[in-house]
Amino acid sequence: MVMDKIKGQELMESICEMKYDENIARNLFKQILEGIAYMHEHGVCHRDIKPSNILVLDDKSSIVITDFNISKYFANKAFKMLTYTGTEAFKAPEMLEAAFYNEKIDLWAAGCVLFTMLAGSMPFFDENLPRLHRAIKNAEYDMKSEPWPSISESAKDLIRKLICID
C-alpha cells in the first residue's frame, strides 16, 4: 500500500466554507471527471464517489480522489457488479434495484457531486430510506429553487446528463 500525506480538506468541508461559483466548480469537476476516466481506463470502479472522498488541496485549485476501500477491479467492459455498497445518497438507481451494474455508476455519483458543489446541498436527501431510494430511482431532484436560476444552462444540462436514469 502506498500512501501520500495530502494537505487539504474534504470537498464537502470546502463547499460549506465557501460557495463555489461555476468557474471554481468547473475547474475542480473537470479534474474529478479526469480522475474517473483514468480509473475506468485502468479497470477500476470506485463505487463511492462523494464529496467526502474528494480532497481539495490547500491551493484550492486541485483535487485528489481518495478512499478506494470498496472499489472494484473489472477486467473487461462485459464485467458486471452486484454488490450493494457505497453511500446511499450517491448511489445510482441500478445499485438500489439489486441489478447488475458497471463502472458508469461513478458518473451518476459525479453528477451528484457537481450538483452539491453548485447548490451547496445534495440532490437526494431524506432521513426516510424508502423515500430517498424512491427519489433516486426516479431521479427526482430540484433545479428550480435557489441557486439554480443563476446557474448556467450548460451546467444544468451536464447534471441532467449525469444524473440520468438511462
Look at residue 95 and tell me if it is in a domain: yes
CATH number at residue 40: 1.10.510.10
Sequence-ordered list of residues with C-beta below 8 angstroms from that of 134, at least 6 positions apart, any chain: 140
Residues 86, 6: Cα–Cα separation, whole Å: 23
111 Cβ neighbours under 8 A, 6+ residues apart = 123, 158, 159, 161, 162, 163, 164
What single DSSP character describes residue 81? B
Domain hosting residue 12, numbered range: 8-66+84-161
Question: C-alpha grid cell for residue 102?
Answer: 458497471
Confidence of residue 2 (pLDDT cuts 50, 70, 90): low
Q: Which of 77, 15, 11, 91 is nearest to 46 (CA)?
A: 91
pLDDT range class, residue 1, cuts 50, 70, 90: low
25 within some domain: yes
As annotated, the active-site residues are 48
Could you give the number of structural domains in the chain? 1
Distance CA 129, CA 85 (A): 15
Q: Is 124 among the domain residues?
A: yes
Model-wide pTM > 0.85: yes
Is residue 72, in this structure, part of any structural domain at all?
Answer: no
The pLDDT of residue 79: 83
More confident residue, 3 or 147: 147
* DSSP category for residue 21: P
pLDDT in tens, 45-89: 999 999 999 999 988 889 999 999 999 999 877 788 888 899 999
